[in-house]
A and B are shown apart, each in its own frame.
Chain A
Amino acid sequence: MTNEELKAYLTERFPEAEIKTGPQYVEMTVVNSSLLETANQLKTEKETSFDYLFCLTGVDYPQNMGIIYHLESLEHRHTMVLKVKTADRVNPAVDTVSSVWVTAKYHEREVYDLLGVRFNNHTDLRRVFLDDDWGHPLRKDYVDEVRIVER
């Protein structure tokens, strides 16, 4: 499907979601409570069949944390962006999608490590890179004590 077709299809299929066309991809924002269900539908339904999660990013916005999923369908070769925002910025939590795409399990561990976002029902939520007592460096309020970033 082209971006326009995909947008039209998603608007009809997910009426509650907020859908817009970004500079490259169709972007769909869902609420946390419907994330897992939406992800499952996007992957399993024949029309969309987004079976390949190629990027998972956590972003620290001023009011909340955002998790951004870049999805591609290998059958239809179309791409979209799925977004979810946490309710709370200080103790953020979203549902894990590792039951839908296995690779999310490890990318979510990275987001947890660097941004401190907790993923509900994640089977193995450990830090990937840093020590347990380290802060979450990609947060905007992280204090860079050794001044390695801001000189």
Chain B
Amino acid sequence: MSEIKEVIINNDRLATDEYLVNMGPQHPSTHGVLRLLVKLEGEKVLNVQPHSGYIHSGIEKMCEAISYPQIIHLTDRMDYLSAHMNNEAVALCVEKALQVEVPDRVKYIRTIMDELSRLASHQLWWCVFGMDLGALTTFFYGLRDRELILDIFEETCGARMTVSYNTPGGLMADIHPNFQKRVKDYLKYFKTKLPEYDKLLSGNVILKERTEGIGYLTKEDAIEYGVTGPSGRASGFSCDVRKHVPYSAYPFVKFNEILDHRCDTYARYEVRIKEMYESISIIEQLIDNIPAGDYAVKMKGVLKLPEGEFYQRVESARGEFGVFIVSDGKKNPYRLKFRSPGFSNLFALNKMATGHKIADLVAIMSTLDLIIPDIDR
């Protein structure tokens, strides 16, 4: 009898021990090479320390040695799901510095491509989110629809993900003659499929149990940590760059900034689903009205930016993406900084996950929608 009692006491002592576990860098839920050093008490998360840099590629250093049109091709490789927005940020920044006004046709096409990228990105996020929580079907649904957008990209840009479609002064090439028809066909198709996403996952009891009230991030914290994009907007932080500092064709369209004040994982889920509806509506407003004209303005062979500092903000699928160019008048930048949304979003993870179970950590990380090359650059 006394022996058994001894064992129970030991068990108690074991249960209260804190221990450190490395999650990653090859963990499936980190969606790439990210390591989280998690301090646990049983299954309860006490602290999360993200360790990044496994795929740091020194893009900012590389940019100092190459010309502005070349830089655009590097930006694809950061946040590969928002490749078009990243391209556009650099193109807009260079155009702003050189005081070039692009034709309306370019603005319209850029915005349509932005929103198609956002759709594709949110679709991929949705299918991976389901998979992180153990729902495999979402993966097939999401990828099925995303492939069709990538087909449209391929036809017009020649690439499926690393599009590099923008260039300072406009676009690399005009849209494919089929482009408008295909986009309209796609929207018609996807509008019947998007309610299925809701049917499959949004109202699911297991999903709600796993997400509601989990990973709370207050509006104040979202601002303090600079958490932008759908993750920030789910905390009620009005941070949509498309709305507040409009660029390209966003001033010409009507759309809502999706805000949610529930601040939890489910809110972040729902904001993205609603954003897909908004993206569809933006594309529908533009697709039939693409003005005729040139797809690019004639630029000099070698672009030299005037001396000074130029900043351009755009809304990528993950949040606010910024390009900051310090120019000394040469053909390559003196210093170029990318403000990547993922970097700021990642470090709010500790705030959100502390006190929850380790399985919730996976769900929280999934709703932050991290892309690791975007963080490591």
Q: 29 A-B Cβ contacts within 8 A?
A: A22-B309, A23-B96, A23-B310, A51-B223, A54-B226, A54-B228, A54-B322, A55-B311, A55-B337, A57-B335, A57-B337, A60-B335, A68-B309, A68-B324, A70-B324, A74-B223, A74-B237, A101-B224, A101-B226, A102-B225, A103-B226, A105-B347, A114-B60, A127-B53, A129-B56, A149-B58, A149-B64, A149-B65, A150-B65
CA–CA, A73 and B337, complex, Å: 21
B residues near A114, Cβ cutoff 8 Å: 60
Binding site of A, secondary structure by majority: helix, strand, loop or mixed?
loop
Within 8 A of B (CB), among A106-140: 106-107, 110, 114, 127-130, 137-138
Report the nearest A residue to B347, measured CB to CB.
A106
B residues near A143, Cβ cutoff 8 Å: none
Within 8 A of B (CB), among A36-59: 51-55, 57, 59
CA–CA, A23 and B334, complex, Å: 17
Q: Are A25 and B335 in contact (CB under 8 A)?
A: no
B29 to chain A, nearest CB (A): 21
A113 to chain B, nearest CB (A): 8
Residue B249 is within 8 A (CB to CB) of chain A in the complex: no
A residues near B96, Cβ cutoff 8 Å: 23-24
Residue A13 is within 8 A (CB to CB) of chain B in the complex: no
Report the nearest A residue to B245, measured CB to CB.
A79
B residues near A57, Cβ cutoff 8 Å: 324, 335, 337
Report the nearest B residue to A22, measured CB to CB.
B309
Interface string of A80-112 (1 = CB under 8 A from B): 010000000000000000000111011100100
A interface residues, tally (CB under 8 Å): 37
Report the nearest B residue to A111, measured CB to CB.
B337
Report the nearest A residue to B51, measured CB to CB.
A128
Residue B44 is within 8 A (CB to CB) of chain A in the complex: no
B residues near A149, Cβ cutoff 8 Å: 58, 61-62, 64-65
Residue of B64, B221, B239, B335 most packed against chain A (CB within 10 A):
B335
CA–CA, A102 and B244, complex, Å: 23
Q: Which 4 A-B pairs have the closest CB atoms?
A: A129-B53, A103-B226, A129-B56, A102-B224
B62 to chain A, nearest CB (A): 5
Interface string of B301-317 (1 = CB under 8 A from A): 00000001111010000
Residue B326 is within 8 A (CB to CB) of chain A in the complex: yes
B250 to chain A, nearest CB (A): 16
B8 to chain A, nearest CB (A): 40
Q: Are A59 and B335 in contact (CB under 8 A)?
A: yes
Known: A57-B324, A114-B60, A149-B65. 10 other contacts (CB 8 A): A22-B309, A23-B309, A25-B311, A54-B320, A68-B324, A103-B225, A106-B347, A107-B344, A129-B56, A142-B61
Q: Are A55 and B65 in contact (CB under 8 A)?
A: no
B44 to chain A, nearest CB (A): 23
